[in-house]
Amino acid sequence: MNNLEQQNRIELARSPEAIPGGDIWSERLTEAFEKRARTCRMKSYATYEELVREGIGAKRLLHEGGNSTTQIEQLDGIIREAHDAYAQYSEKIERARGARVKGGEEMKARIESIETEIVNIQKLDLSKEEKQTQVKGKIEELQGLAQELPLSLSQKDTIREVSDRARSAVELQEVQAPLIKGVQSVLKYIESENLLDERDDDLEMWKNRNLVHVEQLKMLYGGRFPDALPAHLGYLLMNMDTRLDQARSMVGRTDTFQFALKRYSTLVNHFGELVEEVTARVEIAMPGMIERVTGLLQEKQRIQGSLIQIKPEQKEVAQNRIDEINKDVAELQGRLRASVEEHVRQLPPPEAELIPHKQAQWGPYLTEEEAKNAIEALFQANLPDTIWLEELGQVKALVEFYQNRKPGLPDEMQQKVDNKIRYFSLKFTLLRDKLIAGNIISEGMAGLDLGPPPEIEELPVEQKNDETIITSEGELESSPQDQEETTQPRMMESPLESEEIGLDEEAQHEPGEVVYVHRPTGERFIIDTTYNHVALPSPPQMMISRERLIASLPIQDLQKPEKVEAAVELLLKRRDEEIRLMKDLITRGPFEVIQEILHMPFSDFENQDQFTSEVGAYMKQEGIKINGKSLKYIHEGITTYLAELGYKATADGRLVGEVLSDGIKFRLST
């Protein structure tokens, strides 16, 4: 690089777009501080305002009641103290703000000065090594300043990691670019920190909204809450807790968090509507009753709060009043509870998505149409494709889980499991069709066979005749004869491959049956049909169709070397086909990362840790969100597939395939 080029790079680095400077860092700090200050101030002001308002109200009542001026003066004193306390609090906030602004200014000035110093180091008449050492020192200082920002520990770790990467790059004599990237990555994470705050706020908001309704229901339901709640409300409460926990655990993951929040907020809304509905009905059935109970409970709370401060002779009066209130409330709440139970029974059942999975079943509980509507309503959520892909994998895994669990269970359990399988199969089919329609997955890659859903046994005969069974292919089958046909597992149908290997599409193969597959060129392969499909670990893109497996299974009956060559050729073709499919996926968006994987030396696949750290770092750098678990799946998926093709990676990064024929091992190497 000549001087002019170097100068240009430095200038580029100095431009505001290329290298965010200290002012942005300082801005982030300001934002975090102001946000917290605003929240604190609002909360405190609300407390203060409520107290003062209550005090003024009490004064007026005492005045109207002709009470002694002593008590009114006492209230005046309390109100004055509240004014003073709030003024002092405001002052403290202002002082903290002043200190922060000063600190922020200092930090900004220092960061800007470091940038200038780095640029100046480039201009110095020093050896390359000396320049690198100096720049490394500056990066360390930047890293130290980043530690001053109000970030979580994990994000500080990330900053450290980014700086380490920048430092390694410095050692590779690429000074400026990695520094810019490092700083940009740090800023990206700082931004995501702000996002995290917002997400916490979102959850908090929904939680608080929910609490209002929980309290309302608690008041109606009395001391037996929540154990004795009608099942309908009990399930909802339990499910909301689960969803809230899920959403909390996903705060750091953009896509899945949105999904979890959506689910939680839907439940909260639904629960709120139910409680309002029940309250309104109870109100009509028992006018004024809710108000009476609320009033009594408030009075009790007030008395309890004052017990420690009143004179001993007044204590007995207060305690007697509390006892009276308890008695009245118990009696009134007993009547309210009966009314709530009656009205809850009259409400329609919640939609499938709003109740726990163990209830998410049609048959006795929901009709298929209701389940379908509920699932489709869920799809209305405007979420990124990656979430739906993840969901597809999860739903499929659930179906398979229940299918595996079913054998050997008692009859009544089997029926329950059947309901689950039916529900999740429907969800899978609908979701898969949605993804195909949206061009998110290709039909070929979506050819996952779940097997037919179990028949519904618990419905009355007249309903059963009209029942629409949804096959694994997503088709609606309405006649019993058609249903019969779908009980045989169906394979994914890929016209290209079926034609190429001469597979008889009409034939129904029993598991384990030996089947001959003919290629148009005349070769005949013996295959094993034990597997209907090979389900690699999710994500679903890693599913491999039965046909592709068939074509890559060990070839046992080839007698001549030329046939082995043909087999090897086929093997290679299959691998290329798989890569083509992967590339197809890549161009569709969510798994751009595979593109990078495909360019990695295959030896990297052998070490999963190395794989995940390399690919993870790449994705982080590119701003692609993916978690470690998905990376592990991708790794497992690729290695399993390669192994099934008969390939393994060698230490020097080549890919080696082995084919056995008459005891002779034929080797193929990339």
Partner 1 sequence: MVSNGDRYINVLDEAEEEFSSVMDDLQRQMDAVVLAAQTAETERLATEEE
Nearest-angstrom CA–CA distance, 286 and 293 = 12
By beta-carbon proximity to partner 1, the closer residue of 96 and 119 is 96
By beta-carbon proximity to partner 1, the closer residue of 45 and 516 is 45
CB of residue 145 to partner 1, shortest distance in Å? 10
CB of residue 416 to partner 1, shortest distance in Å? 49
CB of residue 330 to partner 1, shortest distance in Å? 23
Among 190, 180, 108, 187, residue whose Cα is nearest residue 151: 190
Nearest-angstrom CA–CA distance, 659 and 669 = 12
CB of residue 54 to partner 1, shortest distance in Å? 7
CB of residue 157 to partner 1, shortest distance in Å? 14
By beta-carbon proximity to partner 1, the closer residue of 107 and 470 is 107
Angle at 87 between CA 83 and CA 89, to 5 degrees: 115
SS3 592: helix
By beta-carbon proximity to partner 1, the closer residue of 149 and 251 is 149
Nearest-angstrom CA–CA distance, 3 and 67 = 90
Nearest-angstrom CA–CA distance, 196 and 35 = 13
By beta-carbon proximity to partner 1, the closer residue of 151 and 456 is 151
Helix ranges (H only) for 15-68 are: 22-64
Burial of 243 (0-12, 13-18, 19+ CB in 10 A): buried
**Pairing label, strands 655-661, 664-669:** antiparallel
CB of residue 93 to partner 1, shortest distance in Å? 6
By beta-carbon proximity to partner 1, the closer residue of 318 and 600 is 318
By beta-carbon proximity to partner 1, the closer residue of 100 and 648 is 100
By beta-carbon proximity to partner 1, the closer residue of 37 and 515 is 37
Nearest-angstrom CA–CA distance, 164 and 270 = 48
CB neighbourhood size of 331 (10 A): 11
List all residues 6 or more positions away from 486 whose beta carbon is below 8 Å from its beta carbon: 452, 469, 471, 472, 477
Q: For residues 332 and 289, is the Cβ–Cβ distance under 8 A?
A: yes
CB of residue 359 to partner 1, shortest distance in Å? 42
Nearest-angstrom CA–CA distance, 143 and 151 = 13
Helix ranges (H only) for 124-175 are: 128-147, 153-171
By beta-carbon proximity to partner 1, the closer residue of 68 and 380 is 68
CB of residue 59 to partner 1, shortest distance in Å? 10
CB of residue 89 to partner 1, shortest distance in Å? 4
By beta-carbon proximity to partner 1, the closer residue of 107 and 375 is 107
Q: Which tokens hold the place of 244?
A: 């809230």
CB of residue 77 to partner 1, shortest distance in Å? 9
By beta-carbon proximity to partner 1, the closer residue of 48 and 379 is 48
196-to-248, 317, 333 alpha-carbon distances in Å: 11, 52, 42
Q: How many CA atoms lie within 13 A of 168 on its CB side?
A: 5
SS3 564: helix
CB of residue 250 to partner 1, shortest distance in Å? 24
**Contacting residues toward partner 1, per CB under 8 A:** 29, 32-33, 36-37, 40, 43-44, 47-48, 51, 54-55, 58, 62, 65, 67-68, 71, 74-75, 78, 81-82, 85-86, 88-89, 92-93, 95-96, 99-100, 103, 107, 147-151, 302-303, 305-306, 308-311, 314, 317-318
Nearest-angstrom CA–CA distance, 238 and 653 = 52
By beta-carbon proximity to partner 1, the closer residue of 299 and 493 is 299
Q: Which residue has the tokens 């403290």?
A: 92
Q: For residues 127 and 167, is the Cβ–Cβ distance under 8 A?
A: no
Continuous segment of H or E residues that includes residue 397: helix 385-405
Among 113, 124, 128, 129, residue whose Cα is nearest residue 25: 113
Structure letter (DSSP) for residue 309: G
**Pairing label, strands 655-661, 514-518:** unpaired
CB of residue 294 to partner 1, shortest distance in Å? 18
